[in-house]
Every structure is written in C-alpha cells, then in structure tokens.
Amino acid sequence: MTKGFDASFLTGARSATQFPDDVGREVAIAGRSNSGKSSSINALTGRARLARTSKTPGRTREINFFRVGDDRRIVDLPGYGYARVPVDMREQWRTVLERYFRTRRSLRGLIVTVDSRRGIGELDAVMLGWAAAAGVPACVLATKADKLSRSAARAAQRSMAAAAGPSTPVILFSAPRRLGIEAAREQLCAWLNGHDA
C-alpha cells in the first residue's frame, strides 16, 4: 500500500514568472470549484489541511505548488466554473492555465476532479484537451461517489469514461469514504516517479 506523501507548501503563483523552476516532475490537479479538488489533494497526500477546502468557491486564484520530494511537485490549479467570478478574471486564469500547460516541461500528469453527479463539463474537457495537446496523460477522479448509489456511481463512471476517451482512466473517488485513494495514489506515484505507462 502506498502511504501519504511528505508534502509541504512551496509557493503560490499568479503568473508564469512566479512558477518555481521547471525541473524534475510534477502532477497538476484541476477541477471545477466545489468539485472536491482540495479534499482530494488532502486525501491523496494524507495531509488533512494541505490544500484549503473553501466555503467560498472560486476564491483561490493562485496556482499552488506543493513539494512532495526532491524536484517532485503536486500543483493545485485554480478551480474554474464559478459563475460569480468576473469575466476579465476568468480570462486571466485561462491565459495563465493555458500557458502553464503549453510551456511546463516538468508536467507529467493531470488529475481532473469531477463531481460524479455532474459529469464531465465543458471546462473539464478544455483541461483534458490542453493536457492531450501537450502530450500529458490524464485521469479523472469521479468525486463524491458516496453521494450516489453503487449502481448510479458505476453508471456515472461509465459515462465519464466515454466522455474522457479511452486513454483517460476514471477512478470512482470519495474522500470521506476513502474510496479510490489507493488507485489514485498509484497513478500519481507512477507519474511522479517516472514509470510512464
């Protein structure tokens, strides 16, 4: 069994000039606001309050870099899809995120958190598309699976898998029930340690 990570906050960046050195390997985690991204990061790292779970969706505007070993990082990308965020700020995020995917050489994998009850939305597909364009493999965490019955969760997983495409695994996930954590950690470790599939 894989254990939690020795993870610590490295830096928060609002623009590309603030990104840490592009060396080693990193895995980015993206997701709609309130999709359970922070809870997933905390469950995966085994650090209860590493990523701030927020009562105010859309508040975190920075790209947060966490160190999980020598030149190994987990990157918490800003949540998207929050209606009350002004248009110019949304555009700014889009520019910074797109640039991150286009230029970041150490990026080895993308995890997208998607609420199992919502399915893959337009902005999730944009993230997956940017990763694919950069040749970066991706997986989807189908979060909050505990809010669905087993059969409904499996149906949600199947429709997400169809939307995400054959090379993107969809892992049923629940932070409080600790479902899917092992599978997600295995994927994360493989990307961080260089066992590219």
Return residues touching ligand GDP (CB under 6 A): 31, 33-39, 53-54, 57, 79, 143-144, 146-147, 174-176
CA-CA distance, 165 to 144, in Å (whole number)?
Answer: 21
CB of 22 vs ligand GDP, minimal distance in Å: 25
Which residue lies nearer to ligand GDP by CB, 58 or 137?
58
Nearer Cβ to ligand GDP (25/110): 110
Strand-pair category, 107-115 with 138-143:
parallel
175 in Cβ contact with 143 (< 8 Å): yes
Q: Taking the complex as a whole, how short is the minimal distance between the CB of residue 196 and ligand GDP, in angstroms?
A: 27
By beta-carbon proximity to ligand GDP, the closer residue of 94 and 178 is 178
Closest CA to 48 of 171, 146, 172, 178: 178
Nearer to ligand GDP, 12 or 176 (CB): 176
DSSP, res 17: G
Q: How far is CA 54 from the centre of its chain?
A: 16
Amino acid identity for residue 159 in this structure: S
Residue 46 token pair: 């085994």
* Rg of the chain on CA atoms, in Å: 15
Tell me whether residue 102 or residue 178 sits nearer to ligand GDP (CB atom): 178
Q: How far is the CB of 70 from ligand GDP (least distance, A)?
A: 27
Q: Which two tokens stand for residue 196?
A: 């590219």
Minimum CB–partner distance for residue 116 and ligand GDP (Å): 9
**Shortest distance (Å) from residue 194 CB to ligand GDP:** 28
Nearest residue to 142 via CA among 129, 155, 127, 156: 156
